[in-house]
Amino acid sequence: MTIIDPPGGHGRPAVPSAAAALARCASVEPAKFAAAHWGRAPLLSRADELPNPDGFTDLLSPADADELLSRRGLRTPFLRVARDGQLVPAARYTGGGGAGAEITDQVLDEKVLELYASGATLVLQGLHRTWPALVDFARDLGTALSQPLQVNAYLTPAGSQGFATHYDTHDVFVLQVDGRKHWRIHPPVLPDPLEQQPWGGRADEVAATADGPAALDVVLAPGDALYLPRGWLHSARAQESSSLHLTVGIRALTRYAMVEELLTLAAEDPRLRAGLPFGTDVADPDAVEPELTETVEALRDWLLRVDPAAVAARLRQRAWPAARPAPIRPLAQAAALAALDADSRIAPRAGLRWQLTATDDHRVALRLPDRTLTLPGTCEPAVRTLLTGTVTRVGDLPGLDDDADRLVLARRLLREAVAVPA
């Protein structure tokens, strides 16, 4: 894993907030985290080893959670409820929101109270999309790790346990916000599981391992953080009071993802598209064997000449849309467009993934997660200056003949949400 300090696109400058976000989660230097822990071993970081003396309440406090549950019109699947290791059907805590809001899957606070008071765990999901402080934190931490993230919150009543021992198919940071929670961690029964290899398929192995000695048996207090690689078994129980913790799921790409993209590209090879011979009995290993040998040879020959640029393009299409850039304010953006002049100052949209490349017709292609913009080649210095900088005065954009051209480009970049008013 490469932990950067970190560019968000090609040629981006370092982002101090990204390094600060990672420092809040791990008490060791980024290089040591990458070498000794990432994908390898858990890391427990106590509050007094981390930089924020107030812990994580600035990201989401119990009062914030109450706000979400009661006043934000929250809908499923942004809330899950678990009790005794099982998910509670959403119909038990959702319904219509009254006049003018009859949508039937809105969270009903009185139903949530009933379940929570009887020992159920509440799971607020997708907070990296719904709660402002976590929108920004997830973007910064994702930039530091070069990976897309998701953030959930777990609210557990005193003495309760939401889920039995299990493993996740993605790495996580656990950030203890409020209360205390007892965690038992065991080594994997399946190292580095993929998304299609959930723990339920190995429930007996998981249960047997969980009965043995724990690799880590700790109580997390407010401000503590825990990193768990995917596959590590874990269970958690609230202690003498209710508990609130955040789980940051890291949706890292795997080599298997690269294999999947290679197989998609392999459809270009005529030998691999060929049908099996007429009358082949696919249930007969002796009939399948020569076809398997031929297929493996054809695949090997194709893999030896595969274009890395084609693989990178496929991986880009998979990875970039998984991480949202910083939110924009549509009304403020439209007002900035209307008032734009040479003295206006604009900035790159934080967290936006991009590539800028020359084309054969003397133009440049600005690749974004969901589209590609084609611009005159003379725009390349101005676009690169903006995207690799912080704040730029429109009249100072380089490479263009006059302010009229600079204004045309700046309006395009604002309208396409590549740039934002500074």
Closest residue by Cα to residue 347 from 3, 13, 4, 5 = 13
Q: What is the spatial distance between Cα 354 and Cα 4, in angstroms, rounded to a whole number? A: 16
Reading the chain (422 residues) residue by residue, the pLDDT tens digits are: 544 433 344 444 446 789 999 999 999 999 999 999 999 999 999 999 999 888 999 999 999 999 999 999 999 999 999 998 889 999 999 999 899 988 999 999 999 999 999 999 999 999 999 999 999 999 999 999 999 999 999 999 999 988 889 999 999 999 999 999 999 999 999 999 999 999 999 999 999 999 999 999 999 999 999 999 999 999 999 999 999 999 999 999 999 999 999 999 999 999 999 999 999 999 999 999 999 999 999 999 999 999 999 999 999 999 999 999 999 999 999 999 999 999 999 999 999 999 999 998 999 999 999 999 999 999 999 999 999 998 999 999 999 999 999 999 999 999 999 999 99
Residues in the chain: 422
186 in Cβ contact with 232 (< 8 Å): yes
Phi, psi for 176 (deg, rounded to 5): -80, 120
Closest residue by Cα to residue 253 from 124, 357, 352, 142 = 142
Phi, psi for 89 (deg, rounded to 5): -55, 135
Helices 109-117 and 62-71 cross at an angle (nearest 10°) of 130
Q: What CATH number matches the domain at 330-421, 3.30.70.20, 3.90.930.40, 1.10.3720.10, 3.10.129.10?
A: 3.90.930.40
What is the enclosing helix (H) or strand (E) of 385?
A: helix 380-387
The residue ranges of every structural domain in the chain are 16-250, 255-319, 330-421
Q: What CATH number matches the domain at 16-250, 2.60.120.650, 2.30.38.10, 3.30.160.110, 3.30.930.10?
A: 2.60.120.650
How is residue 15 written in tokens? 């982002």
